[in-house]
């Protein structure tokens, strides 16, 4: 799904905190679904498909939020700004720092994959937590970006209610 081509209505629905937090909750379930290959063999395709299907349709499942002033809503609105502006960050955000964090994220995804292949519960848990922490950091930067851009953009101000 290309997030840049979501309709205005879908973005509003996507900004519902329930949408954000259920995506967070779905990630460990996806890890468990993939790992389940060790227990149920190729039947693991079923829970993986269900989880991936949920993640795909998630932006359409929830109504627009009553308010977009929550951290979760602002994270989605910030991501919308980020994509709309060509993935630009605030001037005082060092782009090299993002490259380092991307490398750390790739290392954690690799470690998670290895943990799943080896059925190493400790590695899977630590890597999953690290991936979610990295996603939280990214979301926090999106909140920061939105909070800055909303000050000078009437369009972005209209997203905040």
Helices (DSSP H) in 36-149: which residue ranges?
A: 37-40, 45-61, 71-84, 95-118, 121-149
Provide the residue range defining the domain that includes 23.
3-158
Of residues 86 and 155, more confidently modeled: 155
Predicted model pTM:
0.87
> How far apart (Å, rounded) are the C-alpha atoms in residues 103 and 95?
13
Instruction: Give pLDDT, residue 3.
Output: 55
> How far apart (Å, rounded) are the C-alpha atoms in residues 119 and 100?
28
**What domain count does the chain have?**
1
DSSP string, 108-139: HHHHHHHHHHHT-HHHHHHHHHHHHHHHHHHH
């Amino acid at each position: 799904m290309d997030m840049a081509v979501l309709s205005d209505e879908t973005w509003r629905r996507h900004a519902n905190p329930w949408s954000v937090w259920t995506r967070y909750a779905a990630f460990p379930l996806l890890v468990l679904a993939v790992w389940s290959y060790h227990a149920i063999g190729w039947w693991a395709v079923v829970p993986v498909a269900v989880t991936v299907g949920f993640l795909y349709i998630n932006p359409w499942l929830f109504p627009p939020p009553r308010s977009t002033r929550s951290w979760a809503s602002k994270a989605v609105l910030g991501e919308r700004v980020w994509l709309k502006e060509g993935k630009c960050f605030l001037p005082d955000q060092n782009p090299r720092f993002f490259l380092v964090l991307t490398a750390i994220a790739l290392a954690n995804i690799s470690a998670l994959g290895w943990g799943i292949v080896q059925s190493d519960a400790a590695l899977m848990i630590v890597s999953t937590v690290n991936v979610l922490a990295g996603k939280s950091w990214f979301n926090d930067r999106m909140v920061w970006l939105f909070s800055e851009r909303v000050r000078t953009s009437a369009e972005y101000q209209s997203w905040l209610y």
